Amino acid sequence: MKFGILVNEGPFQHQAADTAYHFIKAALDRGHEVHRVFFYHDGVNNANKLSEPQQDDRNVVHRWSKLAEEHGIDLVVCVAAALRRGIKDEILAPGFRISGLGQLVESGIQADRLVVFGD
């Protein structure tokens, strides 16, 4: 099965980003495909390479970058939501790119299922 993923919440104030990450890992382990993760609303904060979690905490941003590198997953950050939160190309973590809502629509069309994490 081919999944598209939508993440609407940031990495530290809600469980949605962690749940999305673990869902993707489990899907990949079972042979499914995840072609794109679209970050929208506060979810765009998952792409901010300037975040510095404590040493004993998980590094959510780094995990997303590593996942994209290892599995060729397209990590797309909504341009409008990103700009509202001061996120520009210069502070995107590796593997992320900024684009528009058309990428979310395309993901919904190409995927067998579009799974949404967060409100």
Which tens digit of pLDDT belongs to each residue from 20-45? 999 999 999 999 999 999 999 999 99
What is the arithmetic mean of pLDDT over 65-74? Answer: 97
For residue 76, what pLDDT is reported? 98
Cα separation, 89 vs 112, whole angstroms: 30
CA nearest neighbour of 93 among 47, 52, 55? 47
CA distance 64 to 20: 10
Q: In the predicted model, what is the mean pLDDT of residues 80-107?
A: 97
Q: How many domains does the chain have?
A: 1
For residue 62, with 0-12 CB atoms within 10 Å meaning exposed, 13-18 middle and 19 or more buried, which class applies?
Answer: middle
pLDDT band of 50, cuts 50, 70, 90? very high
Element (H, E) at 109: helix 102-110
Torsion of CA 8, 59, 26, 30, to 10 degrees: 120
Task: Tell me the whole-structure pTM to 2 decimals.
Answer: 0.95
Residue 74 belongs to a domain with what CATH number? 3.40.1260.10
Mean pLDDT for all residues in the chain: 95
pLDDT of residue 37: 98
Tell me which residues are annotated as active site: 78
Residue 88, pLDDT > 90, answer yes
Q: Which of 23, 36, 16, 20 is nearest to 102 (CA)?
A: 36
Q: How remote is the C-alpha of 90 from its chain's centroid?
A: 17
| Boundaries of domain holding 103 | 2-117
pLDDT score of 57 more than 80: no
